[in-house]
Structure 1
């Protein structure tokens, strides 16, 4: 009923449909499920005398005089108008909107909505929204603000959504069975959708948000738990029980594993021995020693006669793992054939690797997503390790699993996620946590500076370089953007090279560089040929330089706490005291509170818990993490209790009705199958 092609909605047509497709909107259902990013409160009309500088407001005004239309240059016209109410005057400025000249009529009343700018005692609104009072359909309401694409305005999307709701409201069916809906105080789906787009009031909006979050999370959790259940019951895996060479490595490494590492190795060993495929997530903070745990599992597979693969999201991280594996093998004097494969591997070399992999000569292969491409075939893959799981979804894991006889899967992440949320996001995996740091790992001193104090950070870096140390400077963008005043890596590099650090050796690293250039810069930094590395977050994972002691992050307010914690983990890896300096340009209390969390603790899980209290769990459910891009859950959930509630409910439902049989579960089952449509194991 709601699967009608979006182009047939009145006012859409082919051209506009293509724009909607860029937002993932193909049907009426997609449009109704495309919820606003935020809302604007237009319920109260302000008097001009009461407006505040820099704040958005709704005014009800008349034109004071005839507006002027001036051609400033080719392709640029400016309309200037002065408006009034009973309390004062304000100026309106519009760019390239000539059509307004016919609409701006003396003595008529208008609603004007926009940001007030105050300078030299005068008030101005630049490019505000303006409507005749008698025609306006936004004033007096809470209005939605949607994520947009080029050529599609918020007004257009709002009108289309309103029309779709009018035409199809009665065709919206509940997904959650009535009994569950009533039991958990949820409202009907049609009411939830309506109040998420056009909230009647705060109470109804909160009910709608909770109900829709509950529904989306229930779909996701039931799907993931069903995958886990299917994997356990439907497939037999490989028995990996020869730990001889793994144990040999443990005897040779020059340090004692922590109790947490040993516990996780024991959990992995138990999984590997079973006929059922392992699906385990190892969560551990930066520097907690996840890699050696993974290598133990890899060598166990090799010792049992199987091939192993290790996949990482970036070439930098994959190369790091390759080097680490080679180092450990050398340490234990083990003669094992290891290969590296990425998108930049030369054709001739790649051909040889693929042949050796297929005939079983390569025992361990390390690489990027190139490992899941067509043409990559194994003789007998027994174990698949993926690092930084939040970059790989359920589907990518399934793609590499399909290359063998249900190989065991081990997933590693250094992204700290509170356990409750981890169980939700990784519902198809068993979870192990390395919650202990190796002895001797030093605490990184974290400082927060204002933008005006940035010079102090540069001076401090100079002093550290004079002592023979190295530093990172991280900027959020690669190139300058006209729309956001953020420090750019290229711009910062050029500025510092010609000023503060003109006598030092600077390096530049960003995601747009080719792999060869990236590798060259990282190697030069590792070898000490570069004093200061200016970079984007491409160094968030996989760069290990013990001599680097300062991590300076510009525009730190733009990063998530988990990401800042990851960046901080790039320093403090050697014997020297290390420092993380965060430049916070946001003056809000919320931003200051977030930065202070990082000052107070270096425990990634505590950082995540605190972040959860401030922002709610939304950001943990980004599409990068669960790989289910259809659902932008972060925009509709803010209550961790909902997550816990859904978790318990999902387990109970599947315990009683694993096939979700019966009419009441029909729609819910359909939604799950649709979301996990690439996963044929659901409800077989």
Structure 2
């Protein structure tokens, strides 16, 4: 970047110290920052034919005043001014709220220009701007910027115009000619000009195309460089597994592997055999058979003389994994052991001794696995399940328990491809996109609150068959802001409803982990038939006898979360059901309910969820890793994201990128992120 662009914004005429402080609050410190303060939308003042305008669209029209303006007051300082106006062949009504002074300015037969929202049904414009005569706008297409404090829209536009006039010639290109020509992209100077001073929609579109690609390429270069240097700086171990023993094990499994499982197993095994350290994410929908894939890979590691570890978020999940893996692996003389905070005293000491002496082949547990006292003899393969629930630090500590072991992250949250590429860009991604044979699809119904009696009768029908039910509520206790059924209230209502017939349990986030485990164990053992719970139940628990899921206020959950919750049932061979109790007020809410009843495919749902909610809500606000792009939108620009990722991968792998002068600007940008020094990106 040209050093002159690093000057303070006070170098621009009209920006004093006070304004500079306000701009600094908006992260605008230098002239470069000011030039890169992009508009978030545009006001379109072009005159339009009303025949082409959609309902509720914002428009600007010019026409003659057809009637005397009528002014009505209602309440203190509230007024409505109405006037009829002839626009081409249309006689329309224009309404101005709280602008009574306009009554004396508007005269019959005078030409006026108004801008506002068009109501097609009532042939009416609710105007927010008006001028006497024809439009005098300098431009018909004006940028709208985010503002703060004493900085006005007019002021911001003026500052950017002056900055461009004085320093625009110093804007340097950072993309090589080859890429600009390949995608017919505007140069950086022209693209900035078109974003700030467009003449029409096409200017904005072309400028946006350029910056979307630049932002994605810049981010993907960091990701691909990180991946390259992590591989080079941390050589892994070669796990030369015994193929014939592995085939015998796969043949012994109770069900044949699906094609998707075979593909994923092959991807993981080839990583294990390579000398690079594996860094792979395994995505599989609820019930797609990730545990079996984990068992095959852990078995492979053990045949090569290494130990394996599986870390999961909760004790009950650890116990279930330990039980199923023991059943699969112990007939082959593989020692599987469980370590959680509940394992204490002599037994704990004995497990730790055996582990450090290599007598235990596979250790399964919660974050108890990463405590200092836990020491492996020869750890070669690590799996973390529901990895987004562990902090980066916890995952790193487990990895350091061995000499650069291979690492596999598993998740049952179907992450849309665009998010996987962005958030886990430095990982390889494997997807199990096929369900095991014989799984019955969960029948999903959407019911309104007034149908609760019928819903409970349906639940009771399942309970009479000896099955169990989950009832999920969004909040623990009443909040004045949210009229939401809370878990405690629903628990007491259902306890009364099912009294003397079925036992109703309660689980929520305020319980400590021992209490939660006790409730879950009672439900797993069928001592409790109906479990009322907040969303704490969503991860991994396996109760095959549960065939019924009722979700209160379902419109308050995202699609991915609803799908995760629904996946708690349908784990046995019996037909399972999910009932969404919801009265959504918005179109998006209704759309969500409809989609849930139409598909059981988590990946289809996750893509829809991303479209309906946006990436920030997908993982929850606390999740880091989703970059803030100024112009690019991962959902709508996903094709550009894929293109940029492929380009970045080719560039990082080529010597031309590291040596040729035409890539110098991109290399400088990469150096400034610290990736090349082996620093981890935020």
TM over 0.5: yes
Contact 2:216 2:632 in 1 (8 A): no
Counterpart mapping for 1:303-382 below 5 A: 303-312=303-312, 315-316=313-314, 319-329=316-326, 332-333=329-330, 334-340=334-340, 364=362, 366=364, 380-382=378-380
Aligned residue number for residue 90 of structure 2: none
Aligned residue number for residue 444 of structure 1: 442
Q: Count matched residues.
A: 636
Aligned residue number for residue 84 of structure 1: 81
Is residue 461 from structure 1 mapped to residue 481 from structure 2 by the alignment? no
**Residue ranges of structure 1 left out of the alignment (5+ in a row):** 47-51, 69-78, 94-99, 147-151
CA separation of 1:402 and 1:155: change in aligned 2, threshold 3 A: farther
The separation in 2 between residues aligned to 1:229 and 1:593, in whole angstroms, is: 42
Aligned residue number for residue 224 of structure 1: 223
TM-score normalised to structure 2 length: 0.71
Q: Note the alpha carbon deviations across 1:302-354, whole angstroms, 9 max, x for none.
A: 45444433344xx33x641453124422554343444236xx99999999999
Deviation at 1:258, TM superposition (A): 3.3
Contact 2:478 2:486 in 1 (8 A): no
Aligned residue number for residue 71 of structure 1: none
Aligned residue number for residue 546 of structure 1: 544
CA separation of 1:631 and 1:510: change in aligned 2, threshold 3 A: farther
Contact 1:32 1:161 in 2 (8 A): no
Partner of 2:496: helix, strand, or coil?
Answer: coil
Deviation at 1:288, TM superposition (A): 1.3
Aligned residue number for residue 281 of structure 1: 281
Aligned residue number for residue 406 of structure 1: 404
Partner of 1:86: helix, strand, or coil?
Answer: strand
Partner of 1:265: helix, strand, or coil?
Answer: helix
Contact 1:308 1:363 in 2 (8 A): yes
Deviation at 1:476, TM superposition (A): 4.6
CA separation of 1:614 and 1:470: change in aligned 2, threshold 3 A: same
Contact 2:566 2:578 in 1 (8 A): yes
Q: Note the alpha carbon deviations across 1:354-411, whole angstroms, 9 max, x for none.
A: 9998887876555567877999876654222233355679888667545643321212
The separation in 2 between residues aligned to 1:155 and 1:551, in whole angstroms, is: 53
CA separation of 1:155 and 1:513: change in aligned 2, threshold 3 A: farther
CA separation of 1:533 and 1:419: change in aligned 2, threshold 3 A: same
Partner of 1:410: helix, strand, or coil?
Answer: strand
From 637, 644, 648, give the equivalent of 1:646.
644
Is residue 503 from structure 1 mapped to residue 500 from structure 2 by the alignment? no
Partner of 2:309: helix, strand, or coil?
Answer: strand
From 518, 540, 563, give the equivalent of 2:516.
518
CA separation of 1:183 and 1:308: change in aligned 2, threshold 3 A: same
Counterpart mapping for 1:233-632 below 5 A: 233-242=232-241, 253-312=253-312, 315-316=313-314, 319-329=316-326, 332-333=329-330, 334-340=334-340, 364=362, 366=364, 380-389=378-387, 401=399, 404-417=402-415, 422=420, 426-450=424-448, 453=451, 456-476=454-474, 485=482, 488=484, 491-499=485-493, 502-504=496-498, 505-511=503-509, 513-557=511-555, 559-583=557-581, 585-586=583-584, 592=590, 595-608=593-606, 627-631=625-629
Q: Note the alpha carbon deviations across 1:227-274, whole angstroms, 9 max, x for none.
A: 333344454321223459977865765444334334433433333233
The separation in 2 between residues aligned to 1:393 and 1:28, in whole angstroms, is: 38
Aligned residue number for residue 73 of structure 1: none
Deviation at 1:577, TM superposition (A): 1.4
Of stretches 137-146 and 203-212 in structure 1, the one that deviates more from structure 2 is 137-146
CA separation of 1:480 and 1:180: change in aligned 2, threshold 3 A: farther
Partner of 2:210: helix, strand, or coil?
Answer: helix
Contact 2:474 2:486 in 1 (8 A): no
Partner of 2:383: helix, strand, or coil?
Answer: strand
CA separation of 1:324 and 1:179: change in aligned 2, threshold 3 A: same
The separation in 2 between residues aligned to 1:594 and 1:28, in whole angstroms, is: 45
The separation in 1 between residues aligned to 2:317 and 2:353, in whole angstroms, is: 24
Aligned residue number for residue 72 of structure 1: none
The separation in 2 between residues aligned to 1:397 and 1:628, in whole angstroms, is: 19
Q: Note the alpha carbon deviations across 1:185-205, whole angstroms, 9 max, x for none.
A: 333456656777897654344
CA separation of 1:181 and 1:345: change in aligned 2, threshold 3 A: farther
CA separation of 1:90 and 1:436: change in aligned 2, threshold 3 A: closer
CA separation of 1:89 and 1:569: change in aligned 2, threshold 3 A: same
Q: Note the alpha carbon deviations across 1:485-529, whole angstroms, 9 max, x for none.
A: 5x64xx432443454663345444444554334333333332334
CA separation of 1:475 and 1:433: change in aligned 2, threshold 3 A: same
The separation in 2 between residues aligned to 1:479 and 1:541, in whole angstroms, is: 22
Partner of 2:180: helix, strand, or coil?
Answer: helix
Contact 2:19 2:150 in 1 (8 A): no
Partner of 2:440: helix, strand, or coil?
Answer: coil
CA separation of 1:235 and 1:31: change in aligned 2, threshold 3 A: same
The separation in 2 between residues aligned to 1:365 and 1:3, in whole angstroms, is: 54
Deviation at 1:443, TM superposition (A): 1.1
CA separation of 1:426 and 1:631: change in aligned 2, threshold 3 A: same
Of stretches 408-417 and 82-91 in structure 1, the one that deviates more from structure 2 is 82-91
Deviation at 1:600, TM superposition (A): 3.5
The separation in 2 between residues aligned to 1:167 and 1:370, in whole angstroms, is: 60
Aligned residue number for residue 207 of structure 1: 206
Q: Note the alpha carbon deviations across 1:416-447, whole angstroms, 9 max, x for none.
A: 35667755654433343333322322111122
Higher radius of gyration, 1 or 2: 2
Of stretches 352-361 and 170-179 in structure 1, the one that deviates more from structure 2 is 352-361
The separation in 1 between residues aligned to 2:35 and 2:479, in whole angstroms, is: 32
Counterpart mapping for 1:151-170 below 5 A: 165-166=160-161, 169=164, 170=168
Contact 2:446 2:581 in 1 (8 A): yes
CA separation of 1:56 and 1:423: change in aligned 2, threshold 3 A: closer
Partner of 1:225: helix, strand, or coil?
Answer: helix
Contact 2:549 2:566 in 1 (8 A): yes
Contact 1:67 1:82 in 2 (8 A): yes
Contact 2:474 2:487 in 1 (8 A): no
Contact 1:320 1:543 in 2 (8 A): yes
Deviation at 1:449, TM superposition (A): 3.7
Of stretches 614-623 and 295-304 in structure 1, the one that deviates more from structure 2 is 614-623
CA separation of 1:321 and 1:82: change in aligned 2, threshold 3 A: same
Deviation at 1:562, TM superposition (A): 3.6
Deviation at 1:290, TM superposition (A): 0.7
The separation in 2 between residues aligned to 1:348 and 1:85, in whole angstroms, is: 86
Aligned residue number for residue 177 of structure 1: 176
